[in-house]
A and B are shown apart, each in its own frame.
Chain A
Amino acid sequence: MIKSILGRILFTSINNSTTITKTSRTLSHFAFKPDTAAVSDGDTTRMNLFQAINNALEIALVSDPKAVIFGEDVSFGGVFRCTVNLQDKFGKDRIFNTPLCEQGIVGFGIGLAAAGATAIAEIQFADYIFPAFDQIVNEAAKFRYRSGNQFDCGGLTIRAPCGAVGHGALYHSQSVESYFAHCPGIKIVIPRGPIQAKGLLLSCIRDQNPCIFFEPKILYRLAVEQVPVKDYMLPLSKAEVLVEGDDVTLIGWGTQVHVLHEVCEMARDQLNTSCELIDLATIMPWDRETVINSVKKTGRAIVAHEAPLTAGFGAEIAATLQKECFLHLEAPILRVAGYDTPFPHVFEPFYLPDKWKCFEAIKKSINY
């Protein structure tokens, strides 16, 4: 009797808490803006981000018998479903769980790649990539250079979910790209939606350099597009101008691109300001040319990212623009970023560089 009463209380409280969580989850800080595939891309099918990644992985495995996928819990499909059904299709020796050890996962991947395999490693959350920092920075990135190009681990790709997710707090929210941007020898890529994710991931897997592919986890289910069915690759180190404009250049990547997209519309409607929106997509080596050309045209630049401000990748972009576009700049380059704090739990709505903060930056820039 006591048990059943307790159970009922527990059930009710769980139910209540679920409702609360659900409400807060739907209050995402951005509106996903789907892309449209070109007609020339052929047949398309409706996919969310995790399905597009799953599809890219499947294509990579079909086209390359040396490709293997491994990490924590990838066998049953992954905690985000990105590797679902792959083990059934390709076998246990190609899709397999590893022990729970990130430094082992990356070290193991480097060895596979050095021996000629295509290694696709998964780190369960970007927040947990740090135990592998040594293997990535001291080993993977320097493998080719230090051996005089005798050995390389170019066949290695590391995938990791990144970014804010509404309630991920300190260790399920981080954007860690700038830690790696300071390390010559690796490529860092972050897609903004399913079409890019598929094309960029296939490029990373086939690129002859170690790549880290960060997947904005909030988009896994939320971002849905008509994704081309065919095997296609999108170029790395190539930024994309999503909205053309004349007054201010907005630069972002991952989820933040969608925040900025909305801000473009707000600026147009409320400030009569024409913004040019750039998705950087590849953090390193980044497409300086596209960004510089845009800022030379607009004379104003705002970089926005979820990661903390200080020494975030926005600093690198701002410094480069200052050097290359000095005579064209009509206002200081502004950075809208996460604060220099750890990523908080209940304060997430106040922490993020949301559309209102970005909108205010545009106002400051044009009124300078």
Chain B
Amino acid sequence: MKMFKLCRNILINGSKFRILPTSNLGISINSDRIHQTFNSSFMTTIRRQTFCAESHHHQSKSEQTLLHELPNVSTIDNVAEFPGAKSKFVTDLHFFDPDDFENIPVYRVMNRNGQVLDEKQDPNLDKELMTKIYKGMTILNSMDRVLYESQRQGRISFYMTNYGEEGTHFGSAAAISNDDLAFGQYREAGVLIWRGFEIDKLMAQCYGNSEDLHKGRSMPVHYGTKDHCFVSISSPLSTQMPQAVGAAYAFKRQNQQRIVICYFGEGAASEGDFHAAMNFAATLSAPVIFFCRNNGYAISTPTHEQYRGDGIVCRGPAYGIPSIRVDGNDVLAVYNATLAAKKICLEQSRPVLIEAMTYRIGHHSTSDDSSAYRSVDEVRSWDEKDHPITRFRKYLEQKQWWDDDLEKSWKNESKRLVMTAFVKAEKLPKPNYMEMFEDVYDKMPESLIEQAQELKQHLKMYGGNYPISNFKQD
């Protein structure tokens, strides 16, 4: 109702939206019924309420006069019965301009100082869970620093940090169960850490060593683990989105009470697969959470070159999907929204869209120098003034669950954990090069067996020209 008043004020004080004189005809509709019909869609509600707010003055009168003046027009004529949409007729010519809508607000639980704004919104999680989230966020941060440096020194070929987006990973992962299937894009390593996937294994993947579950086949940060229900990352953007919908549909049929969470960036949301996924999920009633990390940039492309609508969240209602925008730097807000989203998924068997607003503090990847397209000051401002880790630490300190001493000892401990894993990852050999031929199919076809033999023969003669000693021999 607050929003209603706000919109009404905007309207009355001269917004772009106005009702043409002929609108009396179109407005002879029952506003209450419209409210009921469209209440599910936040965006539409705003629009409809503004629409009705203005019309309210005329309504009762115009409805009567209309019927008197035009005896041939029955109320039934006002119901549009096209198969494509349930709607009403109007006679005012009005294009629904995006400027007619209020932008969808950002849900937050605590402010930048970690103070809870509305006590009712505090999820009141226990100390153990909260400190686990904090420790996860910070160890991810430590791992990022080590692996970023490692790439700079040429020890690994590629890396992508998670700076500034740690809150979205841990807030969402903590709100669902560890066996809810996760599909990621590539900047969601925190979800894996939350689920207990060892730092060793993450590093093994980046090094492509013999302990890498992916057998050294993918680029670094393309993690995946069946045991932790996290589907292996692939580079093509958004391809995981319709896949997540298919998996969710399978879970629904199997009556598993499991959901799927699918992460993606705001840039990836421009791909056709985003559209496919949203539409399939809605029409096929799939219990999937679409979790968008809107961090302002897709490599160098700022959001105003990515889309012109109100971010990603406004697209949800257009597909018939309940949607919410949250402060991605507020772990508690992300947690609450994801928890509620899972409930909707399971109870109503339908998808939910969450757009987490955040800022990509790091470069896009180690192949990118972001100072080429954005100011260092802009980055510093987010790092210093609105960082999910800092904010959450303040929250924990207010609860007296964290202090400088704990911070110091955890910093040392996490650094030790990361460095131990790092040293181990670097020492391990790469997998046997014959692994290159496995798993193309479930069984190796004849032609591939032949090619594998050819390589073996070749290396017998030319092995000295290849880095064989770096690879496992067995």
Which residues in A have some Cβ–Cβ distance to B below 8 Å?
A: 66, 68, 93, 96, 98-99, 101, 103-104, 106-117, 119, 131, 134-135, 138-139, 142-152, 154, 184-185, 187, 208-209, 237, 285, 288-289
Contacts and interface: CB of A to CB of B under 8 A. Distances in A.
Given A148-B217, A237-B445, A114 B439 contact: no
B241 A147 contact: no
Contact of A111 (B214, B246, B442): B246
A45 B239 CA distance: 43
Contact of A285 (B181, B222, B446): B446
A68 B249 CA distance: 11
B440 A115 contact: no
Nearest to A113: B246
A110 B442 CA distance: 16
A147 B254 CA distance: 24
8 contacts: A99-B276, A103-B276, A107-B245, A116-B254, A117-B250, A144-B442, A146-B214, A151-B226
B217 A146 contact: yes
With most chain A CB atoms within 10 A of its CB, the pick from B215, B222, B243, B275 is B243
B441 interface: yes
With most chain A CB atoms within 10 A of its CB, the pick from B217, B222, B276 is B276
A148 B215 contact: yes
A111 B247 contact: yes
With most chain B CB atoms within 10 A of its CB, the pick from A107, A119, A139, A150 is A107
With most chain B CB atoms within 10 A of its CB, the pick from A119, A131, A151, A289 is A151
A187 to B, nearest CB: 8
A154 B441 CA distance: 9
A103 B260 CA distance: 19
Interface of B: 181, 212-215, 217-218, 222, 224-226, 231-232, 234, 236, 239, 241-251, 253-254, 260, 272-273, 275-277, 279-280, 283-284, 438-442, 445-448
Contacts of B224: 147, 150-151
B441 A185 contact: yes
A146 B218 contact: yes
Contacts of A134: 236, 239, 273
A104 B243 contact: no
B241 A146 contact: no
A146 B232 CA distance: 7
A115 B439 contact: no
Contacts of B253: 66, 68, 93, 117
Contacts of B445: 237, 285
A98 B442 contact: no
Nearest to A137: B236
A146 B280 contact: no
Q: Nearest 5 pairs between A and B by C-beta?
A: A111-B246, A107-B242, A104-B276, A111-B243, A115-B250
Given A150-B214, A187-B441, 10 more contacts: A96-B284, A104-B279, A111-B248, A114-B231, A117-B246, A144-B442, A147-B213, A148-B214, A285-B441, A289-B446
A108 B246 CA distance: 4
A104 B281 CA distance: 10
A76 B442 CA distance: 35
Contact of A115 (B181, B222, B277): B181
A96 B286 CA distance: 13
A110 B273 CA distance: 13
Given A116-B250, A146-B234, A237-B445, A107 B276 contact: yes
Nearest to B218: A146
Contact of B243 (A66, A110, A208): A110
A325 B374 CA distance: 62
A238 to B, nearest CB: 12
A106 B245 CA distance: 11
A270 B447 CA distance: 38
Given A99-B279, A114-B231, A146-B217, A108 B272 contact: no
B251 to A, nearest CB: 6
B276 A185 contact: no
B250 A145 contact: no
A108 B249 contact: yes
Given A146-B218, A154-B442, A139 B280 contact: no
Given A103-B273, A104-B273, A104-B279, A145 B446 contact: no
A147 B441 contact: no
B239 A138 contact: yes
Contacts of A68: 253
Given A99-B279, A209-B442, A288 B447 contact: yes
A143 B233 CA distance: 10
A236 to B, nearest CB: 10
Nearest to B248: A111
B447 A285 contact: yes
A87 to B, nearest CB: 14
With most chain B CB atoms within 10 A of its CB, the pick from A112, A134, A288 is A112
B103 to A, nearest CB: 28
A107 B250 CA distance: 13
B247 A115 contact: yes
A61 B280 CA distance: 22
A295 to B, nearest CB: 17
Nearest to A156: B246
With most chain B CB atoms within 10 A of its CB, the pick from A108, A131, A146 is A108
B249 A112 contact: yes
B349 to A, nearest CB: 11
